[in-house]
Structure 1
């Protein structure tokens, strides 16, 4: 998916520390990462179709009551523990390290989230993608994902009609990777698109930049190589920055 070294254009790397935009609702806490804020003079907190990547915490025995989302795609990535979902369509779903949940909210989708008292503490990412237009049909996807392979990028979701296990209705591909200390890999990339990388665990060297736990980078105009300076869990988004978007989602505006 990456070009060879001789064909690789010169890339630009924008980095950000852990976000200071957070909300504390007791048993449910969130930290909002805005990839667009990493680029100087960029007039949008999101970056193309990627509105925000939210680090979410739920204590055991937490219940988030039924609520509605509109005109956004919400992806729940759970690397450990469980997140329990129910909705007005009668779905009762458990998302864990072996499954991915995508709510294509469209015109409107009602759901609730919970952890049971004997569930472990939950730390996950909730990813908000802007759809290509307003008023799309609502739906939900809850599917098993391939087993991770150490040191390799795993494709999680992508645009409709692609080869990812689940889809969103805009031009974003998402991957994750578990990289052992000392190992090196190229970020996923695609000609004309840019890549946002979030360090969920561990630390990496990306080009000449160092990224630690919960820090992130946006790579434009090419790709970049990273090396784990500690065992790392990474999530990367390959984004078409010029894709048409709507900015009227409930949260991911």
Structure 2
């Protein structure tokens, strides 16, 4: 079963420096029917104007993954990490027992466009941590490249949960597929372009829950960038 979550139905926060679309309930946007999917709690699509960003704030007990689409994001946190995240890299911050951080557009002239993803961890109050790793672009263009996983496979960032995040960068007409084991669930998020997932059309910004499907087949109807979550 494929259950779409359309881009136009997402929540929105729009202020002078931020335009954010919320796939699931977040901040002032609350929908009791959209509180996440399995252990996937947040997918925010954020656009931040040049030189602006999120001042220092705190989190606990969440795996936070940042995926850059355009521009560069500057990160600082209370465990001493200072970094700049670019397209083609994945960042994972484990909030664990408690962490504070800030995120700002690194550029004074260009906007930054990114996805921020929250996954609930399997264990509470772990030591806060940080990872930033490149994503295998060749593998993403040939099929699915790991972005995050419980064991850090294929140089992906480590997620403290039974969840695997992958990305595919597809040309028009290209098809990729993955098996979904019994008892597993999937979430597809279209970052760019238009695709069909097991025959269901999804456009840029759309997501879809996948349950009771043995195989997930994605066909690109235009050049596309698609994230896929394999969830317990």
Relative to the length of structure 2, the TM-score reads: 0.88
Q: Which has the higher strand share?
A: 2
Instruction: Determine whether 1:17 maps to 2:6.
Output: yes
Q: Give 2:191's match in structure 1, choosing from 200, 207, 220.
A: 200
Deviations 1:195-235 (A, max 9, x none): 10011111012223111111111111122222111111101
- Cα distance in 2 for residues equivalent to 1:188 and 1:52: 24
> Would the aligned equivalents of 1:69 and 1:105 in 2 still touch at CA under 8 Å?
yes
Determine if the alignment matches structure 1 residue 47 to structure 2 residue 47. Answer: no
Alignment length (residue pairs): 223
Structure 1 range deviating more: 100-109 or 43-52:
43-52
Unaligned ranges ≥5, structure 2? 26-31
Answer whether contact 1:70 1:106 (CA < 8 A) is retained: yes
Query: Which residue is 1:229 aligned to?
Result: 221
How many Å separate the matches in 2 of 1:25 and 1:234? Answer: 27
Pairing of 1:84-123 with structure 2 (within 5 A): 84-123=74-113
In the alignment, the residues of structure 2 paired with residue 185 and residue 103 of structure 1 have an alpha-carbon distance, to the nearest angstrom, of 29
Q: Does 1:144 align with 2:126?
A: no
Shift of 1:64: 1.6
Distance 2:23 2:47 in 1: 14
Determine helix, strand or coil for the equivalent of 1:79. Answer: strand
CA distance in 1 between partners of 2:24 and 2:178 (Å): 19
Q: Which residue of 2 aligns with 1:249?
A: none
Q: Which ranges in structure 1 are unaligned for 5 or more consecutive residues? A: 1-11, 36-41, 241-253
TM-score (ref. length: structure 1): 0.81
Query: What is the CA distance between 1:15 and its match in structure 2?
Result: 1.1
